[in-house]
Structure 1
Amino acid sequence: MDGTLDHVMLRVSDLDDSLEWYETHLEYEEKDRYEGEDFTIVYLGPEEIHEEGALLELTHNEGTDDLEVGDAWGHVAVRVPEGELEEHYEQLMDEGVEDYRDPESCGGRYAFVKDPDGHEIEIVQRDPDEGALWSLDHTMIRVEDADEALGFWTRKFEYDEIGRWEADTFANYFVEPRDAAAEAMAVELTYNYDGRSYEMGDAWGHLCVRVDDLGENWEQLLTREAPDYRDPESNDDMYAFTKDQDGHEIELIERDPEADSLFPF
Protein backbone atom coordinates (compact mmCIF):
# COMPACT_ATOMS: atom_id res chain seq x y z
CA MET A 1 0.00 0.00 0.00
CA ASP A 2 1.36 3.41 -0.99
CA GLY A 3 0.44 5.34 2.12
CA THR A 4 2.20 8.71 2.18
CA LEU A 5 0.87 10.98 4.91
CA ASP A 6 -1.01 13.67 3.02
CA HIS A 7 -2.18 16.05 5.73
CA VAL A 8 -3.19 16.51 9.33
CA MET A 9 -6.48 18.24 10.13
CA LEU A 10 -7.10 20.53 13.09
CA ARG A 11 -10.30 22.37 13.89
CA VAL A 12 -10.07 26.06 14.72
CA SER A 13 -12.52 28.45 16.33
CA ASP A 14 -11.58 31.55 14.30
CA LEU A 15 -10.29 30.77 10.82
CA ASP A 16 -9.00 34.27 10.08
CA ASP A 17 -7.01 34.40 13.32
CA SER A 18 -5.54 30.95 12.68
CA LEU A 19 -4.61 31.72 9.10
CA GLU A 20 -2.91 34.93 10.14
CA TRP A 21 -0.99 33.07 12.86
CA TYR A 22 0.33 30.33 10.56
CA GLU A 23 1.03 32.66 7.66
CA THR A 24 2.83 35.19 9.87
CA HIS A 25 4.82 32.96 12.20
CA LEU A 26 5.42 29.79 10.18
CA GLU A 27 5.43 31.54 6.79
CA TYR A 28 2.74 29.18 5.48
CA GLU A 29 0.72 30.02 2.40
CA GLU A 30 -2.81 29.03 1.53
CA LYS A 31 -2.73 26.21 -1.01
CA ASP A 32 -6.47 25.67 -1.53
CA ARG A 33 -9.83 26.35 0.11
CA TYR A 34 -13.27 24.77 0.12
CA GLU A 35 -16.36 26.65 1.29
CA GLY A 36 -19.23 24.42 2.41
CA GLU A 37 -22.66 25.49 3.61
CA ASP A 38 -21.61 25.69 7.25
CA PHE A 39 -17.89 24.96 7.22
CA THR A 40 -14.64 26.04 5.56
CA ILE A 41 -11.53 23.96 4.91
CA VAL A 42 -8.15 25.49 4.09
CA TYR A 43 -4.94 23.67 3.13
CA LEU A 44 -1.71 25.36 4.22
CA GLY A 45 1.97 24.66 3.91
CA PRO A 46 5.40 26.11 3.17
CA GLU A 47 5.80 27.81 -0.19
CA GLU A 48 8.34 25.24 -1.41
CA ILE A 49 6.66 22.09 -0.15
CA HIS A 50 8.00 18.74 -1.34
CA GLU A 51 5.64 16.51 -3.35
CA GLU A 52 5.64 14.05 -0.45
CA GLY A 53 5.49 16.72 2.21
CA ALA A 54 2.34 16.88 4.32
CA LEU A 55 -0.10 19.78 4.41
CA LEU A 56 -1.87 21.33 7.38
CA GLU A 57 -5.66 21.35 7.03
CA LEU A 58 -7.55 23.88 9.13
CA THR A 59 -11.29 23.32 9.41
CA HIS A 60 -13.75 25.84 10.81
CA ASN A 61 -17.35 24.84 11.49
CA GLU A 62 -19.87 27.65 11.87
CA GLY A 63 -21.07 28.07 15.45
CA THR A 64 -18.07 26.34 17.03
CA ASP A 65 -16.30 29.08 18.90
CA ASP A 66 -15.30 27.01 21.92
CA LEU A 67 -13.27 23.94 20.95
CA GLU A 68 -11.91 21.37 23.38
CA VAL A 69 -8.32 20.22 22.85
CA GLY A 70 -8.40 16.71 24.28
CA ASP A 71 -5.35 14.86 25.55
CA ALA A 72 -5.55 12.01 22.99
CA TRP A 73 -4.18 14.52 20.49
CA GLY A 74 -0.61 15.54 21.17
CA HIS A 75 0.98 17.94 18.71
CA VAL A 76 2.33 18.60 15.27
CA ALA A 77 6.06 19.11 14.85
CA VAL A 78 7.68 21.51 12.39
CA ARG A 79 11.26 21.60 11.17
CA VAL A 80 14.04 24.15 11.45
CA PRO A 81 17.65 23.60 10.31
CA GLU A 82 20.07 22.00 12.75
CA GLY A 83 21.72 24.56 14.98
CA GLU A 84 19.00 27.18 14.42
CA LEU A 85 16.47 26.18 17.07
CA GLU A 86 17.22 29.04 19.46
CA GLU A 87 17.29 31.59 16.63
CA HIS A 88 13.89 30.62 15.29
CA TYR A 89 12.35 30.29 18.74
CA GLU A 90 13.50 33.79 19.65
CA GLN A 91 12.07 35.07 16.37
CA LEU A 92 8.69 33.64 17.36
CA MET A 93 8.95 35.23 20.80
CA ASP A 94 9.76 38.60 19.23
CA GLU A 95 6.64 38.22 17.08
CA GLY A 96 4.48 37.74 20.18
CA VAL A 97 3.98 33.97 20.10
CA GLU A 98 3.13 32.42 23.47
CA ASP A 99 6.22 31.26 25.43
CA TYR A 100 5.19 27.68 26.21
CA ARG A 101 8.29 25.44 26.45
CA ASP A 102 11.55 27.09 25.48
CA PRO A 103 14.64 25.26 24.15
CA GLU A 104 16.45 25.45 27.49
CA SER A 105 13.61 23.65 29.30
CA CYS A 106 13.79 20.92 26.63
CA GLY A 107 17.52 20.32 26.89
CA GLY A 108 18.27 22.44 23.85
CA ARG A 109 16.91 19.72 21.55
CA TYR A 110 13.43 21.06 20.73
CA ALA A 111 10.83 23.59 21.88
CA PHE A 112 7.07 24.07 21.90
CA VAL A 113 4.68 26.91 21.11
CA LYS A 114 0.87 27.04 20.85
CA ASP A 115 -1.42 28.37 18.14
CA PRO A 116 -4.51 30.53 18.90
CA ASP A 117 -6.63 27.46 19.78
CA GLY A 118 -4.02 25.91 22.06
CA HIS A 119 -2.80 23.30 19.58
CA GLU A 120 0.76 22.42 20.57
CA ILE A 121 3.46 22.83 17.93
CA GLU A 122 6.85 21.27 18.52
CA ILE A 123 9.91 22.76 16.83
CA VAL A 124 12.50 20.13 15.91
CA GLN A 125 15.92 20.37 14.29
CA ARG A 126 16.55 18.53 11.02
CA ASP A 127 19.07 18.49 8.21
CA PRO A 128 18.14 21.26 5.74
CA ASP A 129 17.84 18.63 3.00
CA GLU A 130 14.98 16.96 4.90
CA GLY A 131 12.31 19.50 4.10
CA ALA A 132 11.57 23.20 3.91
CA LEU A 133 11.70 25.53 6.91
CA TRP A 134 8.64 24.96 9.14
CA SER A 135 7.54 21.91 7.11
CA LEU A 136 5.60 19.23 9.00
CA ASP A 137 7.90 16.65 10.57
CA HIS A 138 5.48 14.44 12.50
CA THR A 139 2.12 14.33 14.23
CA MET A 140 1.94 12.92 17.75
CA ILE A 141 -1.08 11.01 19.05
CA ARG A 142 -1.43 9.23 22.39
CA VAL A 143 -2.37 5.56 22.49
CA GLU A 144 -3.54 3.29 25.30
CA ASP A 145 -1.82 0.10 24.10
CA ALA A 146 1.54 0.41 22.35
CA ASP A 147 1.49 -3.12 20.94
CA GLU A 148 -1.94 -2.61 19.36
CA ALA A 149 -0.99 0.80 18.00
CA LEU A 150 2.22 -0.43 16.41
CA GLY A 151 0.38 -3.44 15.03
CA PHE A 152 -2.29 -1.22 13.50
CA TRP A 153 0.17 0.91 11.54
CA THR A 154 2.60 -1.85 10.59
CA ARG A 155 0.00 -4.45 9.61
CA LYS A 156 -2.81 -2.40 8.12
CA PHE A 157 -0.85 0.42 6.48
CA GLU A 158 2.49 -1.39 6.03
CA TYR A 159 4.35 1.36 7.87
CA ASP A 160 7.81 0.79 9.32
CA GLU A 161 8.90 1.63 12.84
CA ILE A 162 11.76 4.05 12.27
CA GLY A 163 12.64 5.01 15.82
CA ARG A 164 11.71 4.82 19.46
CA TRP A 165 12.60 6.46 22.72
CA GLU A 166 11.78 4.76 26.00
CA ALA A 167 11.80 6.53 29.36
CA ASP A 168 10.87 5.35 32.86
CA THR A 169 7.20 6.28 32.53
CA PHE A 170 6.47 6.51 28.80
CA ALA A 171 7.69 5.61 25.34
CA ASN A 172 7.58 7.26 21.92
CA TYR A 173 7.41 5.20 18.74
CA PHE A 174 7.80 6.70 15.27
CA VAL A 175 6.27 5.08 12.18
CA GLU A 176 6.22 6.13 8.54
CA PRO A 177 5.54 4.65 5.10
CA ARG A 178 8.08 2.17 3.80
CA ASP A 179 10.73 3.95 1.68
CA ALA A 180 9.29 7.34 2.61
CA ALA A 181 11.07 10.44 1.34
CA ALA A 182 13.12 12.36 3.88
CA GLU A 183 10.65 15.23 3.49
CA ALA A 184 7.62 13.10 4.39
CA MET A 185 5.75 13.39 7.69
CA ALA A 186 5.82 10.58 10.26
CA VAL A 187 3.42 9.54 13.04
CA GLU A 188 4.60 9.58 16.65
CA LEU A 189 2.77 7.17 18.95
CA THR A 190 3.10 8.10 22.63
CA TYR A 191 2.37 5.43 25.21
CA ASN A 192 2.26 6.18 28.96
CA TYR A 193 2.89 3.22 31.24
CA ASP A 194 0.38 4.21 33.92
CA GLY A 195 -2.65 2.88 32.06
CA ARG A 196 -4.39 6.22 31.65
CA SER A 197 -7.19 6.81 29.14
CA TYR A 198 -7.66 9.85 26.92
CA GLU A 199 -10.32 12.20 25.60
CA MET A 200 -10.36 13.09 21.90
CA GLY A 201 -11.78 16.60 22.11
CA ASP A 202 -13.40 18.26 19.11
CA ALA A 203 -10.37 20.41 18.21
CA TRP A 204 -8.52 17.31 16.99
CA GLY A 205 -9.52 16.20 13.52
CA HIS A 206 -7.67 13.43 11.73
CA LEU A 207 -4.64 12.13 9.91
CA CYS A 208 -4.91 11.57 6.16
CA VAL A 209 -3.10 8.91 4.14
CA ARG A 210 -2.71 9.35 0.38
CA VAL A 211 -3.27 6.12 -1.56
CA ASP A 212 -2.89 5.05 -5.20
CA ASP A 213 -6.30 3.40 -5.56
CA LEU A 214 -9.00 4.34 -3.05
CA GLY A 215 -11.30 1.41 -3.74
CA GLU A 216 -8.57 -1.21 -3.84
CA ASN A 217 -6.76 0.09 -0.76
CA TRP A 218 -10.03 0.40 1.17
CA GLU A 219 -10.85 -3.25 0.49
CA GLN A 220 -7.32 -4.16 1.54
CA LEU A 221 -7.82 -2.38 4.85
CA LEU A 222 -11.10 -4.19 5.46
CA THR A 223 -9.39 -7.52 4.75
CA ARG A 224 -6.84 -6.52 7.39
CA GLU A 225 -9.75 -5.86 9.78
CA ALA A 226 -9.54 -2.09 9.90
CA PRO A 227 -12.80 -0.50 11.14
CA ASP A 228 -15.33 0.34 8.42
CA TYR A 229 -16.10 3.86 9.63
CA ARG A 230 -17.01 5.86 6.49
CA ASP A 231 -16.58 3.86 3.30
CA PRO A 232 -15.86 5.35 -0.15
CA GLU A 233 -19.42 4.84 -1.40
CA SER A 234 -20.86 6.91 1.45
CA ASN A 235 -18.50 9.72 0.41
CA ASP A 236 -19.24 9.60 -3.35
CA ASP A 237 -16.01 7.61 -3.86
CA MET A 238 -13.94 10.71 -3.14
CA TYR A 239 -12.43 9.66 0.19
CA ALA A 240 -13.00 7.29 3.10
CA PHE A 241 -12.31 7.05 6.83
CA THR A 242 -11.22 4.30 9.16
CA LYS A 243 -10.23 4.52 12.84
CA ASP A 244 -7.34 3.14 14.81
CA GLN A 245 -7.72 1.11 18.02
CA ASP A 246 -8.06 4.31 20.09
CA GLY A 247 -10.60 6.00 17.84
CA HIS A 248 -8.25 8.38 16.02
CA GLU A 249 -9.79 9.05 12.61
CA ILE A 250 -7.69 8.28 9.54
CA GLU A 251 -8.79 9.51 6.14
CA LEU A 252 -7.84 7.85 2.86
CA ILE A 253 -7.68 10.02 -0.22
CA GLU A 254 -6.62 9.47 -3.81
CA ARG A 255 -4.93 12.47 -5.41
CA ASP A 256 -5.10 13.42 -9.08
CA PRO A 257 -1.83 15.24 -9.81
CA GLU A 258 -3.44 16.92 -12.83
CA ALA A 259 -6.45 18.25 -10.92
CA ASP A 260 -6.95 21.99 -10.56
CA SER A 261 -7.93 21.63 -6.90
CA LEU A 262 -6.58 19.71 -3.94
CA PHE A 263 -10.15 18.86 -3.03
CA PRO A 264 -11.94 15.90 -4.64
CA PHE A 265 -15.31 17.69 -4.46
Structure 2
Amino acid sequence: MAETVGSLLSSIPDEWGPKFETTSGAVTHTVTGPNSISYRTPSHMAVVMLSPQPGREVALNSDGRPQFLAPVGTVEIIPASSDLFARWTVPKENLLLALAPEQLSKLAALEFEREDFEFLPPPAGHVDEKALLLARLVRDEIQKGESINHLYMGSLLTVFSTYLLRNYSTLQDYPSSRYRGGLSPKTWRNVQDYIRANIGEQLSIERLALLAGLSPSHFMRAFKQTTGQSPHQYILSMRLELAERFVITTDMPLAKIASLTGFANHSHLTASMRRHKFTTPSALRRGRFIR
Protein backbone atom coordinates (compact mmCIF):
# COMPACT_ATOMS: atom_id res chain seq x y z
CA MET A 1 0.00 0.00 0.00
CA ALA A 2 1.28 3.49 -0.84
CA GLU A 3 1.35 5.29 2.48
CA THR A 4 3.18 7.96 4.41
CA VAL A 5 3.26 7.19 8.10
CA GLY A 6 4.40 10.11 10.19
CA SER A 7 4.60 11.01 13.86
CA LEU A 8 0.83 11.41 14.21
CA LEU A 9 0.44 7.63 14.35
CA SER A 10 3.87 6.60 15.64
CA SER A 11 2.39 5.32 18.92
CA ILE A 12 0.16 2.80 17.12
CA PRO A 13 1.92 -0.51 16.28
CA ASP A 14 2.28 -0.97 12.52
CA GLU A 15 1.14 -4.60 12.73
CA TRP A 16 -2.31 -3.49 13.95
CA GLY A 17 -3.29 -2.30 10.49
CA PRO A 18 -2.53 -0.04 7.51
CA LYS A 19 -1.80 3.63 8.07
CA PHE A 20 -2.30 6.55 5.71
CA GLU A 21 -1.40 10.21 6.07
CA THR A 22 -2.40 13.27 4.07
CA THR A 23 -2.27 17.02 4.67
CA SER A 24 -5.74 16.60 6.18
CA GLY A 25 -4.61 14.18 8.87
CA ALA A 26 -3.63 10.56 9.42
CA VAL A 27 -5.78 7.47 9.73
CA THR A 28 -5.32 3.82 10.55
CA HIS A 29 -7.71 0.90 10.25
CA THR A 30 -6.80 -1.42 13.10
CA VAL A 31 -7.76 -5.02 13.78
CA THR A 32 -6.17 -6.42 16.92
CA GLY A 33 -6.80 -7.95 20.29
CA PRO A 34 -7.41 -8.73 22.95
CA ASN A 35 -4.85 -6.07 23.77
CA SER A 36 -4.14 -2.79 25.55
CA ILE A 37 -2.30 0.45 24.86
CA SER A 38 -1.00 3.34 26.93
CA TYR A 39 0.60 6.54 25.62
CA ARG A 40 0.49 10.33 25.54
CA THR A 41 -1.35 11.46 22.43
CA PRO A 42 0.77 13.61 20.07
CA SER A 43 -2.32 14.92 18.28
CA HIS A 44 -6.09 15.14 18.54
CA MET A 45 -7.55 11.69 17.96
CA ALA A 46 -10.96 10.19 17.28
CA VAL A 47 -11.79 6.48 17.47
CA VAL A 48 -14.86 4.91 15.85
CA MET A 49 -15.65 1.30 16.75
CA LEU A 50 -16.35 -0.96 13.78
CA SER A 51 -16.95 -4.00 15.99
CA PRO A 52 -18.62 -4.24 19.42
CA GLN A 53 -16.43 -4.21 22.52
CA PRO A 54 -17.97 -5.52 25.72
CA GLY A 55 -15.98 -4.73 28.85
CA ARG A 56 -13.88 -2.02 27.22
CA GLU A 57 -11.68 0.02 29.59
CA VAL A 58 -10.60 3.58 28.87
CA ALA A 59 -8.84 6.07 31.12
CA LEU A 60 -8.22 9.62 29.94
CA ASN A 61 -5.93 11.69 32.19
CA SER A 62 -7.11 9.54 35.10
CA ASP A 63 -6.15 6.48 37.12
CA GLY A 64 -9.72 5.20 37.04
CA ARG A 65 -10.46 2.49 34.47
CA PRO A 66 -14.22 2.01 34.23
CA GLN A 67 -15.55 -0.82 32.08
CA PHE A 68 -18.37 -0.24 29.62
CA LEU A 69 -20.01 -1.63 26.52
CA ALA A 70 -18.82 0.03 23.31
CA PRO A 71 -21.30 -0.89 20.53
CA VAL A 72 -20.52 -0.54 16.84
CA GLY A 73 -20.45 3.19 16.07
CA THR A 74 -19.10 4.23 19.45
CA VAL A 75 -17.09 7.45 19.16
CA GLU A 76 -14.23 8.36 21.47
CA ILE A 77 -12.50 11.75 21.31
CA ILE A 78 -8.99 12.09 22.74
CA PRO A 79 -7.63 15.67 22.81
CA ALA A 80 -3.94 16.24 22.05
CA SER A 81 -1.42 15.74 24.90
CA SER A 82 -3.79 13.46 26.83
CA ASP A 83 -2.61 10.46 28.83
CA LEU A 84 -4.58 7.57 27.38
CA PHE A 85 -4.99 3.99 28.55
CA ALA A 86 -7.29 1.53 26.77
CA ARG A 87 -7.84 -2.21 27.15
CA TRP A 88 -10.15 -4.56 25.26
CA THR A 89 -10.84 -8.22 25.97
CA VAL A 90 -12.12 -9.31 22.55
CA PRO A 91 -10.75 -8.82 19.02
CA LYS A 92 -11.34 -5.22 17.96
CA GLU A 93 -11.82 -3.43 14.65
CA ASN A 94 -11.81 0.35 14.66
CA LEU A 95 -10.84 3.43 12.72
CA LEU A 96 -8.45 5.88 14.38
CA LEU A 97 -8.21 9.42 13.02
CA ALA A 98 -5.25 11.59 14.08
CA LEU A 99 -5.31 15.36 13.53
CA ALA A 100 -2.41 17.74 14.12
CA PRO A 101 -3.51 20.63 16.41
CA GLU A 102 -2.13 23.35 14.12
CA GLN A 103 -3.80 21.84 11.05
CA LEU A 104 -7.11 21.52 12.85
CA SER A 105 -6.88 25.11 14.07
CA LYS A 106 -6.46 26.25 10.46
CA LEU A 107 -9.53 24.25 9.46
CA ALA A 108 -11.50 25.73 12.38
CA ALA A 109 -10.53 29.25 11.27
CA LEU A 110 -11.72 28.55 7.72
CA GLU A 111 -14.98 26.87 8.74
CA PHE A 112 -15.94 28.78 11.91
CA GLU A 113 -13.72 31.89 11.78
CA ARG A 114 -12.17 30.85 15.11
CA GLU A 115 -8.84 29.09 15.64
CA ASP A 116 -9.27 28.48 19.38
CA PHE A 117 -11.42 25.57 20.52
CA GLU A 118 -11.47 22.63 22.91
CA PHE A 119 -12.73 19.15 22.24
CA LEU A 120 -15.61 17.88 24.39
CA PRO A 121 -15.30 14.08 24.61
CA PRO A 122 -18.69 12.30 24.62
CA PRO A 123 -19.70 9.87 27.41
CA ALA A 124 -18.43 6.28 27.31
CA GLY A 125 -20.28 4.12 24.79
CA HIS A 126 -21.71 7.08 22.86
CA VAL A 127 -22.86 5.93 19.39
CA ASP A 128 -22.84 8.29 16.40
CA GLU A 129 -24.33 6.84 13.21
CA LYS A 130 -23.01 9.59 10.92
CA ALA A 131 -19.48 9.20 12.28
CA LEU A 132 -19.84 5.45 11.69
CA LEU A 133 -20.86 6.06 8.06
CA LEU A 134 -17.81 8.30 7.52
CA ALA A 135 -15.55 5.76 9.24
CA ARG A 136 -16.77 2.97 6.96
CA LEU A 137 -16.15 5.10 3.88
CA VAL A 138 -12.59 5.80 5.06
CA ARG A 139 -12.04 2.12 5.87
CA ASP A 140 -13.27 1.03 2.44
CA GLU A 141 -10.88 3.45 0.74
CA ILE A 142 -7.84 2.59 2.87
CA GLN A 143 -8.40 -1.10 2.11
CA LYS A 144 -7.74 -0.42 -1.59
CA GLY A 145 -4.02 -0.32 -0.86
CA GLU A 146 -2.03 1.04 -3.79
CA SER A 147 -5.24 1.94 -5.61
CA ILE A 148 -6.26 4.42 -2.93
CA ASN A 149 -7.51 7.75 -4.26
CA HIS A 150 -5.46 10.34 -2.34
CA LEU A 151 -7.77 13.24 -3.19
CA TYR A 152 -10.87 11.29 -2.17
CA MET A 153 -9.22 10.23 1.08
CA GLY A 154 -8.22 13.83 1.78
CA SER A 155 -11.80 14.91 1.13
CA LEU A 156 -13.15 12.29 3.52
CA LEU A 157 -10.72 13.29 6.27
CA THR A 158 -11.59 16.97 5.79
CA VAL A 159 -15.32 16.21 6.06
CA PHE A 160 -14.68 13.99 9.08
CA SER A 161 -12.57 16.66 10.82
CA THR A 162 -15.19 19.35 10.19
CA TYR A 163 -17.89 17.03 11.54
CA LEU A 164 -15.92 16.41 14.74
CA LEU A 165 -15.37 20.15 15.27
CA ARG A 166 -19.05 20.89 14.68
CA ASN A 167 -20.34 18.17 17.04
CA TYR A 168 -17.67 17.50 19.66
CA SER A 169 -15.96 20.80 20.40
CA THR A 170 -16.65 24.23 21.84
CA LEU A 171 -17.31 25.35 18.26
CA GLN A 172 -20.65 23.52 18.20
CA ASP A 173 -22.45 26.73 19.13
CA TYR A 174 -20.71 28.72 16.36
CA PRO A 175 -22.39 28.53 12.96
CA SER A 176 -20.00 27.78 10.13
CA SER A 177 -19.52 30.60 7.66
CA ARG A 178 -22.29 30.57 5.08
CA TYR A 179 -21.64 30.23 1.38
CA ARG A 180 -24.09 29.46 -1.36
CA GLY A 181 -23.67 29.00 -5.07
CA GLY A 182 -21.06 27.51 -7.36
CA LEU A 183 -17.61 28.75 -8.30
CA SER A 184 -17.45 32.03 -10.22
CA PRO A 185 -16.29 31.73 -13.86
CA LYS A 186 -12.91 33.28 -13.03
CA THR A 187 -12.38 31.02 -10.01
CA TRP A 188 -13.44 27.98 -12.00
CA ARG A 189 -10.91 28.84 -14.74
CA ASN A 190 -8.16 29.22 -12.13
CA VAL A 191 -9.04 25.88 -10.53
CA GLN A 192 -9.17 24.14 -13.92
CA ASP A 193 -5.81 25.61 -14.95
CA TYR A 194 -4.22 24.49 -11.68
CA ILE A 195 -5.60 20.96 -11.99
CA ARG A 196 -4.36 20.63 -15.59
CA ALA A 197 -0.91 21.97 -14.70
CA ASN A 198 -0.58 19.58 -11.75
CA ILE A 199 -2.53 16.56 -12.97
CA GLY A 200 0.37 14.20 -12.23
CA GLU A 201 0.81 15.43 -8.64
CA GLN A 202 -1.01 14.52 -5.42
CA LEU A 203 -3.62 17.27 -5.43
CA SER A 204 -5.24 18.24 -2.14
CA ILE A 205 -8.61 19.70 -1.25
CA GLU A 206 -6.88 22.26 0.99
CA ARG A 207 -4.77 23.62 -1.87
CA LEU A 208 -7.70 23.80 -4.29
CA ALA A 209 -9.90 25.46 -1.66
CA LEU A 210 -7.19 28.02 -0.93
CA LEU A 211 -6.94 28.78 -4.64
CA ALA A 212 -10.71 29.36 -4.71
CA GLY A 213 -10.67 31.45 -1.53
CA LEU A 214 -13.12 29.12 0.24
CA SER A 215 -13.10 26.78 3.21
CA PRO A 216 -12.58 23.13 2.22
CA SER A 217 -16.19 22.09 2.89
CA HIS A 218 -17.61 25.09 1.02
CA PHE A 219 -15.22 24.48 -1.86
CA MET A 220 -16.39 20.87 -2.20
CA ARG A 221 -20.03 21.96 -2.27
CA ALA A 222 -19.37 24.80 -4.76
CA PHE A 223 -17.26 22.52 -6.96
CA LYS A 224 -20.04 19.93 -7.19
CA GLN A 225 -22.62 22.60 -7.92
CA THR A 226 -20.40 23.90 -10.75
CA THR A 227 -19.43 20.56 -12.33
CA GLY A 228 -22.02 18.06 -11.12
CA GLN A 229 -19.15 15.97 -9.75
CA SER A 230 -17.08 15.91 -6.58
CA PRO A 231 -13.45 17.08 -6.98
CA HIS A 232 -12.03 13.56 -6.81
CA GLN A 233 -14.51 12.26 -9.43
CA TYR A 234 -13.78 15.16 -11.79
CA ILE A 235 -10.00 14.86 -11.45
CA LEU A 236 -10.10 11.08 -11.89
CA SER A 237 -12.05 11.57 -15.13
CA MET A 238 -9.46 14.08 -16.35
CA ARG A 239 -6.62 11.70 -15.48
CA LEU A 240 -8.24 8.79 -17.27
CA GLU A 241 -8.96 10.86 -20.39
CA LEU A 242 -5.38 12.10 -20.52
CA ALA A 243 -4.01 8.60 -19.94
CA GLU A 244 -6.23 7.22 -22.70
CA ARG A 245 -4.95 9.89 -25.10
CA PHE A 246 -1.32 9.08 -24.26
CA VAL A 247 -1.93 5.33 -24.69
CA ILE A 248 -3.53 5.75 -28.11
CA THR A 249 -1.35 8.52 -29.59
CA THR A 250 2.13 7.70 -28.22
CA ASP A 251 4.46 4.75 -27.68
CA MET A 252 5.24 5.91 -24.17
CA PRO A 253 5.61 3.04 -21.63
CA LEU A 254 2.43 2.49 -19.65
CA ALA A 255 4.26 2.94 -16.35
CA LYS A 256 5.41 6.38 -17.51
CA ILE A 257 1.86 7.30 -18.57
CA ALA A 258 0.60 6.26 -15.13
CA SER A 259 3.17 8.49 -13.45
CA LEU A 260 2.44 11.50 -15.67
CA THR A 261 -1.31 11.28 -15.11
CA GLY A 262 -1.29 10.93 -11.32
CA PHE A 263 -1.69 7.18 -10.82
CA ALA A 264 0.46 5.30 -8.31
CA ASN A 265 1.70 2.80 -10.91
CA HIS A 266 0.75 0.82 -14.02
CA SER A 267 -1.53 -1.55 -12.08
CA HIS A 268 -3.35 1.37 -10.44
CA LEU A 269 -3.99 2.91 -13.86
CA THR A 270 -5.17 -0.43 -15.22
CA ALA A 271 -7.55 -1.03 -12.31
CA SER A 272 -9.00 2.48 -12.55
CA MET A 273 -9.46 2.29 -16.32
CA ARG A 274 -11.09 -1.13 -16.07
CA ARG A 275 -13.49 0.11 -13.37
CA HIS A 276 -14.48 3.38 -15.03
CA LYS A 277 -13.81 2.87 -18.77
CA PHE A 278 -14.45 -0.90 -19.02
CA THR A 279 -11.15 -1.40 -20.80
CA THR A 280 -7.42 -1.42 -20.00
CA PRO A 281 -4.39 0.52 -21.29
CA SER A 282 -3.02 -2.66 -22.89
CA ALA A 283 -6.30 -3.32 -24.69
CA LEU A 284 -6.45 0.26 -25.93
CA ARG A 285 -2.91 0.03 -27.27
CA ARG A 286 -3.54 -3.30 -28.99
CA GLY A 287 -6.71 -1.85 -30.56
CA ARG A 288 -4.63 0.91 -32.12
CA PHE A 289 -2.96 -1.62 -34.38
CA ILE A 290 -6.09 -3.65 -35.17
CA ARG A 291 -7.99 -0.75 -36.74
Give the TM-score of the pair, scaled to structure 1. 0.29
Rg larger in structure:
2
Q: Which has the higher contact order (CA 8 A, sep 6+)?
A: 1
Q: Which has the higher strand share?
A: 1
Scaled by the length of structure 2, the TM-score of the pair is 0.27
